[in-house]
A and B are shown apart, each in its own frame.
Chain A
Amino acid sequence: MNLTLKVWRQKNATDHGRIETYEARSIPAEASFLEMLDIVNERLIEGGGEPIHFDHDCREGICGMCSLTINGVPHSKERGITTCQVHMRKFRDGDTIWIEPFRARAFPVVRDLVVDRTAFDRIVAAGGFISVRTGSAQDANALPVPKDDADASFAAAACIGCGACVAACKNASAMLFVGAKAAHLNLLPQGKPEQDKRVLAMVRQMDAEGFGGCTNQYECEAVCPKEISADVIAKLNRDYTAAAVKEAVC
């Protein structure tokens, strides 16, 4: 198939950036979207140009590294997949495709479609963990966890930290990401002792990183490749409020 690509090119963080047009000819329909970019890049290099930079690694939808928008939608308009899981058979011959980086103040562009998402790492470092020293754990079956709690925790833990939720949100809010991490840990008995400290620290770090507030548009849920429910945001708000009240009265 033949396609026209409109791609965001930006040399580095200080460059202004612009959309450039590329013709992608004879692309196999079985190729993945990123393989299509590989083909375009090989031709660019052979023609003396510089390839389009994009983040990618596992190419099976689990590492969370790939991060671009296709026709304005983070990853893809198809539900529950990452960019690397998009296949060209979903497009039509002759289509024009707009490819841009995830846009958010807290995710500065590094080059072309590559953005810096280390803000997420700093949010997790603020409290997204259970403090347990290696070697100090009791037998794994000593603490039964009701299956429903374990399943709900797992569903939240499925977050791959890709940042699509932020890119989709008009406020560039990171509430789905933070809510998922908080729910994963707060739903488990192991995570209870640090729950209050965790939500306060993570939310404050989120604000410090420049992410916006949540106004309940649920764009995040719609684009999340792991289909994490926006319910985790409601839970985060509850947990945060409770923790903030306790903090205020203590």
Chain B
Amino acid sequence: MASNGSPLHSAVPSGPLADKWTKHKNESKLINPANKRKYSVIVVGSGLAGGSAAATLSELGYQVKCFCYQDSPRRAHSIAAQGGINAAKNYQNDGDSVYRLFYDTIKGGDFRAREANVYRLAEVSANIIDQCVAQGVPFAREYGGLLDNRSFGGAQVSRTFYAAGQTGQQLLIGCYQALSKEIARGGVKMYSRTEMLDLVLVDGHAKGIIVRDLVTGEISRHAADCVILATGGYGNVFYLSTNAMGCNVMAAFRAHKRGAYFANPCYTQIHPTCIPVSGDYQSKLTLMSESLRNDGRVWAPKKKEDAEAIRTGRKIAADIAEDDRDYFLERKYPSFGNLAPRDVSSRSAKEACDEGRGVAPTGLGVYLDFRDAIQRLGRNTIEARYGNLFQMYEKIAGTDPYTSPMMIYPAVHYTMGGLWVDYNLMSNIPGLHVLGEANFSDHGANRLGASALMQGLADGYFVIPATLPNYLAGQKPGTVKTDDPAFAEAEEAARARIHQLLSVNGKRTVDSFHRELGMLVWDKCGMARNEPGLKEALARIPAIREEFWSNVRVPGEGANLNAELEKAGRVADFIDFAELMCHDALNREESCGGHFREEYQFTEADDDVKSGYTNPGEAKRRDDAFCHVSAWESAGPGNTPILHIEPLAFEAVKLSVRSYK
């Protein structure tokens, strides 16, 4: 696919892969301590990426303003990550190394990530653990007092550090405490319950934002020498996902409309182990940590009749004889078994259900069974490992996983795509930097478990503090003020949009539009996509948009806490974003990682299948045509976006068919 825009420059340093980051740091610009305090930085988002960046930049002496929509920075959605964080410490002496973590991550991403970024991520992973332990993050420990590890999907070593089933919470609290320390010192001014409405560009550089105080409705301007977005992913475009209710794409999408390129929006991660959907009132889906697959075995009945009997309540899991159970991950991927990566495991579960072997009442669910692990290790050990997760499952599903297996089904969980950034984590807009899930850079087409926390903290604690001066050193501090006409224009546009949302006064609720959009994209741009489906979605989205802007009902007023108004602004952007996502999915005529185009899969006719290297039905990449990042430039509402390409060059790894057999 030829691009119709200019090519992108990733600013990856030259030299051997293992030396690039060190070399880059040595060659990066520095700002002396007396001058650092003259520079101001805006950080939007207070999760692991934003919180760690805000705290660290403040420690370095910059004046930081940090914004979050929640009532406290401690509540950012990083908190919900359960299983763990990867680091190449090799404390287990099982052969781990920076190279292996790098290789697993790049292979896990189906060779669609930027090699140098991924290597850097693996390289700083060890520092993250050191930093977090020093902050008092209570990771799980062994009796000798040293740190414990567990295994995660897509890896054959134990490199995941964890704090029971609430690793994200503990890491975020460490980060929040570091942020609080800087707030108290005066280095960070925190704005909670505040939402970014627009990005302000002055002479083509990101120099500020327009925000709304969600309690008073006041709209205000904030100027700085640069802007950092750490605003998370866009999973809620699907309406139902494991994301928090407030997670949204607004900040990133506003930046996109101001010129920032959006990279690989079609890469979405569908997590295999979530509690199945039970009804149309449902507001969100709950993830059961991937760590459960260390001991749980995933299966569905071999026979459709058995599945049917379970669905209608005539049989239970225990009635199915061992020989009649299909442990499909162990069968298809013997070397990784139940720890096959997320994209592969999700598609296998979908396949079993599509064959009529699903066990949930809706037909969309398979078992995650701990019977054998409880027999082998005893209930106490399983309780110590996963007690809170089992309890969470019992609360929601109403059945006890110690005695009957969990039911799981894939759900939208994470988004690998995001705003395009170079090696310095700067977007194509000078001064606009993007960290964590909001950028696209490290996970390619599929993220491995326990890597999101790693990336967020790597970006915030270690990468941006080193790369930001490369931009700031070329800027005279404090030159842009909020009386610049660009602020007035952006503020006016933000006010007009709110006024418009409040004055439609139609008949349908915001949620009804969100549900309609979500069902459409889940159906046409979810776990499997094809050309006719994507074209249909692209034809239907404009109609949803048109009805939204003519028939949405947003009660109340702007000058008050107004949850419906907040949702309306976010859903309006999700509608436009869904269009971009489908364009990208249609354009990428290959299957890779989380992006599965039904037209491109291995069949019995392929040599790799005949040789037994891979299975029919696995994702088939087209490296000749699509070994690149697709970065989209907005061409205005209703127009096809403009594609820019960043070719992916692999110096250290050889592209191969990704097999977990």
Q: A: which residues have CB within 8 A of B?
A: 11-12, 28, 30-32, 34-35, 38-39, 42, 45-46, 48-51, 53, 55-65, 80-81, 85, 87, 89, 110-111, 114, 116-118, 120-121, 124-126, 128-141, 143-147, 150-151, 153-154, 157-158, 160-161, 184-185, 188, 190-191
Contact = CB atoms under 8 A, between A and B. Distances in A.
The 8 closest A-B pairs by CB, nearest first: A144-B145, A137-B134, A129-B177, A154-B138, A137-B130, A125-B184, A140-B133, A125-B180
Contact of B180 (A48, A128, A154): A128
Nearest to A138: B130
B540 interface: no
A42 to B, nearest CB: 5
A242 to B, nearest CB: 20
Nearest to A187: B138
B89 A64 contact: no
A135 B426 CA distance: 22
B99 to A, nearest CB: 20
A133 B138 CA distance: 18
A121 B618 CA distance: 49
B141 A60 contact: no
A59 B392 contact: no
A34 B74 CA distance: 21
Interface of B: 52, 55-56, 59, 70-75, 77, 79-80, 89, 91, 127, 129-136, 138-147, 163-164, 166, 168-170, 173, 176-178, 180-181, 183-184, 190, 192, 215, 244-246, 278-279, 281-284, 286-287, 391-392, 395-396, 398, 461-462, 465, 507, 509, 511-512, 553, 555-556, 560-561, 563-564
20 contacts: A28-B281, A46-B507, A48-B555, A53-B561, A57-B246, A58-B244, A63-B77, A65-B71, A87-B395, A110-B561, A117-B72, A121-B74, A129-B177, A140-B89, A140-B132, A140-B139, A144-B146, A150-B140, A154-B140, A161-B74
Contacts of B131: 132, 134-135, 137
Contacts of B71: 55, 65, 116-118
A114 B214 CA distance: 12
Contacts of B164: 154
Nearest to A153: B138
A134 B59 contact: yes
Contacts of B89: 140-141
A39 B509 CA distance: 11
A32 B147 CA distance: 37
B348 to A, nearest CB: 25
Given A121-B73, A190-B136, 14 more contacts: A32-B283, A42-B512, A64-B75, A87-B395, A128-B180, A130-B134, A134-B55, A134-B56, A135-B131, A139-B130, A154-B163, A157-B163, A161-B74, A188-B136
B281 A134 contact: no
A57 B244 contact: yes
Nearest to A37: B283
Contact of B145 (A28, A30, A147, A158): A147
Given A45-B555, A56-B245, A110-B561, A62 B169 contact: yes
Contact of B281 (A11, A31, A49): A31
A184 B564 contact: no
Given A111-B560, A157-B173, A190-B133, A87 B138 contact: no
B560 A12 contact: yes
B556 A50 contact: yes
A237 B163 CA distance: 27
A136 B163 CA distance: 22
A157 B136 CA distance: 10
Q: Which of B134, B168, B215 has the most CB of A within 10 A?
A: B134
A131 B181 contact: yes
A180 B73 CA distance: 18
Given A58-B77, A87-B396, A38 B147 contact: no
A38 B511 contact: yes
Contacts of A64: 72, 74-75
Contact of A30 (B59, B142, B180, B279): B279
B283 A35 contact: yes
Given A58-B77, A63-B77, A153-B138, A38 B461 contact: no
Q: Which of B89, B163, B173, B556 has the most CB of A within 10 A?
A: B173
A65 B131 CA distance: 27
A49 B555 contact: yes
Contacts of B511: 38, 42
Nearest to A159: B173
Nearest to A81: B395
A56 B246 CA distance: 8
A128 B75 contact: no
A124 B173 CA distance: 10
Contact of A157 (B170, B184, B278, B281): B170
B455 to A, nearest CB: 16
Nearest to B391: A80
B461 A62 contact: no
Contact of B144 (A42, A57, A120, A144): A144
Contact of A138 (B55, B134, B184, B507): B134
A89 B398 CA distance: 9
Contacts of B129: 140
Nearest to A191: B136
Contacts of B144: 144
Contacts of B140: 150, 154
Contacts of A34: 283
Contacts of A55: 71
A125 to B, nearest CB: 4
